[in-house]
Chain A
Amino acid sequence: MRIFLSLRFNIGLLCALILASAAGTFLPQSTEDPARVEEFIAVHPSLGPLFRLLGLFDLYHSPWFLALWAVIVLDIALCKLSSLPGPASDETAEDLEEAARSRPLSGRWTVPDQAKAFAAATDLLASLGYRVRRLATGTMPMASSAELHGLQAWGSLVAHASLVAILAGGLLKGLFGFHEFVAAAEGGTAPVTGRPGWIIGVTDFSVERYEDTGANKRFTTRLAVYEHGRLVEEKDIRVNDPLSVPGLTFYQDSWGATGMWRSASLAWPDRELELSKDGPMADPESGARFSADLYAADFGITADGRPDNLTTEPRNPALRVTESPRKGQARTWWLLEREPAAAFIEDASGVLHEAPPPAFRLASVDPVLFSGVQAVHDPGYPLVLGGSLAWLAGMVLNFYLHRRRILVVALAQPGREARLCVGALSSRGPAAFKEDFDRLIARMREVSS
């Protein structure tokens, strides 16, 4: 228990969190790029397996990293419970005058009348907005504790408690929520495996791009959500504009090409031929028959010479077209929409061979796109949101409020003049309050004499 209250231990925990978090940004993470993890292991055959064993390739979800967070939460809870704000110890001190004098800022002077001076001093504090509380000291001496912006004392507690709430929100999502990527082709449906019986349907999908950079401008999915075949909700969703149904929210995440196509055409210098998905189409001029099957959105070639689709974005669209001439052998072409001068022939074993371009080219191809949606059930989010607001409140209280506590003690001295003793504490340190305190003492002297 004592170790949790030690500042050195707390700082050690924070440093461990800093180092672990930083390590995860330099090492490849399997959740982001599994291929890079495998590459790292291949390049570092001795370190790689060790790192894998330590969970460094999925660092932020590794048991030891989660355990570190758990210890931090426990540490915060214990530290804050042991230091709940309460009355200052000197307010209950037997020797109140000594308590006032020992404060970092203090003043002491004689007054003609103990009761009048005490009342004037406390009235002045009250008029300045201080919350004045008479200390139960009997009749002698008279003492009051005055406080301005006392809420500041709760700032640290609120801020730390809010951190626990935010982390608890994350834990709730981990335990009872789910986060699932669901992709459905245009006009198609896909199940939400985390919610049996629920499916999404992409009724329509559209994408717009900036002309100058080719970057995504906007993509919209007409999304329908079904529960056991019953339509629950339908809406156009975009990034930043999700669809929510009770207990589940669907966020627009990504899009890409499915590998299927809707329509395509071949062109000769003097004619065009529309291809069909249902079967080969004959070119009336040459008598050859043409059919197409595979679509690659971002055509590439693997190291062993086979066709590859590098990404799902249509950066280098290509179509596999089979040409069956009236006489001779059929040939399988890969034709690139944006590079008509390039063409490849695929042999029976699936290997590509560069070939002079045929007499025809791929004039157009309209791919079937898919819409990627994140289906999320996050029961912890309200806690995270509430914790965030509490954090904001805690920070404002802690750093932007200036808590000042003043102890006023009036003593009657037999046979001599009475004495007024004032001591002050400031949440920002004595230097930040000194000027104001000196002015306050000057006014107190004025009103008490």
Chain B
Amino acid sequence: MMESVLFQIASALYVAGTGLGFVYLYNRDERLSRWMHNLLAVGVVFHLASSGIRLKHFWDIPENRWYLPVNSFFGALSAMALAITATFVVVEGRHRLGILGAFVLPWACLAALGGVFRVHSMGDTEIYGLAPALQSYWMNIHPLVIMVAYAVFGNAFGVGVALLVQERQLRSKRPQELCYRLPSIEELDTLNYRLVAAGFPVLTVGIIMGGIWAHNAWGRFWGWDAKETWSLITALVYAVFLHQRLVKGWRGRKAVYTSMLGFACVVFTFVGVNFLSRLHGYLSAR
């Protein structure tokens, strides 16, 4: 109960922070950016507290002891919201790019609100005992690594949207103030590339870890399960992006569209594939 209350408070704070991010797009007041940052930080604290309670209840089931509670759709959504927000806070903190909040944070909000919706539709926060295959130390590594990659790609997607907006502004005859507040196309392009270049190795290593886990559990590294296949597709799309960028020097819109296609694959792999996958179906995780 307390877990879901704290999670909902965190979600509300993320939504409020994102709202401030949108206001900050059109209002130069720096206090808005600071407040956005503060709301997100407090949201992360509430989220961590909620996760702490979740962990305690999860570990009350002896088979779950020492494993992370990401074996349910709510658990995955909650971890995803936390990962995207935390990645944004780190990137924003390093590059002073609060202006990108409006482009990146909606994904964290969507994941958090998806979690809230899931709690209301299921009636609880989905704490179940782990299936035998999930009782492995890989449970603490493989999903976490994959989620970090997804969060980084989520941030890259937001940066890509900002780049498209900026490009549109520059092409228009009467650019709005937003044009002068967003980073330059060159900076956004470089940031988009650097985020993808950071996320791609993490994703592929996460996929390989999944393969090693599957080999330990069932004696096969790769089984063409829908989730495995779609994560491979995601990696291939980002590989196309990196090859085009590094070899052919793709910049700007073309590169961003490819990166966005990659993120569409991420979203499908995270949500859509649950309806196709037997092994990784969160929606039938009971």
Contact = CB atoms under 8 A, between A and B. Distances in A.
A309 interface: no
B211 to A, nearest CB: 7
A374 B230 CA distance: 25
A11 B243 contact: yes
A376 B200 CA distance: 31
A216 interface: yes
B53 to A, nearest CB: 19
A432 B187 CA distance: 10
A23 B123 CA distance: 36
Contacts of B233: 18, 21-22
Interface string A371-399: 00010101001001100100110011011
Contacts of A398: 201
Nearest to B187: A431
Contacts, number: 120
Interface of B is mostly: helix
Nearest to A31: B224
B57 to A, nearest CB: 13
A226 interface: no
B218 A251 contact: yes
A37 to B, nearest CB: 15
Interface stretch (A237-245, A278-286, A292-300, A320-328): A237-245
Contacts of A212: 128-129
A21 B269 CA distance: 13
Interface string B237-272: 101100110011000000000000000000000000
Interface string A210-234: 1011011111000000000000000
Contacts of B239: 14
A392 B200 CA distance: 11
Contacts of B226: 25
Interface of A: 7, 10-11, 14-15, 17-18, 21-22, 24-26, 29, 31-32, 60, 169-170, 179, 210, 212-213, 215-219, 238-240, 242, 249, 251-253, 374, 376, 378, 381, 384-385, 388, 391-392, 395-396, 398-400, 428-429, 431-432
A170 B221 contact: yes
B177 interface: no
B215 A381 contact: yes
Contacts of A170: 221-222
A391 B132 contact: no
Given A22-B229, A391-B205, A240 B128 contact: no
12 contacts: A7-B243, A14-B239, A21-B232, A32-B278, A213-B128, A216-B132, A218-B135, A238-B132, A240-B133, A374-B220, A384-B221, A399-B200
Contacts of A14: 236, 239-240, 243
Contacts of A11: 240, 243-244
B131 interface: yes
Contacts of A240: 132-133, 135-136, 216-217
Contacts of B229: 21-22, 24-25
Contact of B230 (A25, A31, A217, A251): A25
A374 B216 CA distance: 11
Contacts of B61: 210
A431 B211 contact: no
A428 B197 CA distance: 10
B86 interface: no
B133 A249 contact: no
Contacts of A213: 128-129, 286
Contacts of B5: none
A429 B190 contact: yes
A215 B212 CA distance: 25
Among all A-B residue pairs, the 7 with the closest Cβ atoms: A395-B201, A376-B219, A239-B132, A251-B219, A210-B129, A25-B226, A60-B224
B55 interface: no
Nearest to A207: B132
Nearest to A11: B240
Given A18-B236, A374-B219, A395-B205, A216 B131 contact: yes
